[in-house]
Amino acid sequence: MSESILVAVGQFAPTADSAANLAAIDELATRAAARSARVVVFPEYSSYFEKEMGPGFVAAAQPLDGSFVRGLGRIAARLDLHVVAGLVASTGTERFSNTLVAVAPSGEVAASYRKLHLYDAFGQRESDWVLPGEIEAPQTFVVDGFTLGLQTCYDIRFPEVTRMLVDAGVEVVVLPAEWVRGPLKEHHWRTLVTARAIENTIYVAAADHVPPVGVGNSMIVDPHGVEIAAIGDEPGIAVAEVRRDRLTDVRRVNPALALRRFRVVPAEPASDR
Q: Annotated catalytic residue: which of 126, 153, 171, 178?
A: 153
Residue type, 130: V
Which residues face 229 on adjacent strands? 220
C-alpha span between 220 and 86 (Å, rounded):
18
Instruction: Let me know if 142 is exposed, middle or buried by CB neighbors in 10 A (0-12, 13-18, 19+).
Output: middle
Q: Is 234 a catalytic residue?
A: no
Distance CA 135, CA 141 (A): 18
Cβ atoms of residues 60 and 88 within 8 Å: yes
**Active site includes 185?**
no
Q: Which of 3, 27, 44, 234 is catalytic?
A: 44
Q: Which DSSP letter does residue 57 get?
A: H
CA pair distance 88, 242, nearest whole angstrom: 29
Catalytic option among 115, 126, 171, 178 = 115
Q: What are phi and psi of 6, to 5 degrees?
A: -100, 130
227 is catalytic: no
- Please say whether the beta carbons of 177 and 186 come within 8 A: no
The answer to whether the peptide bond before residue 212 is cis (omega within 30 degrees of 0) is yes
Active site residues: 44, 115, 153
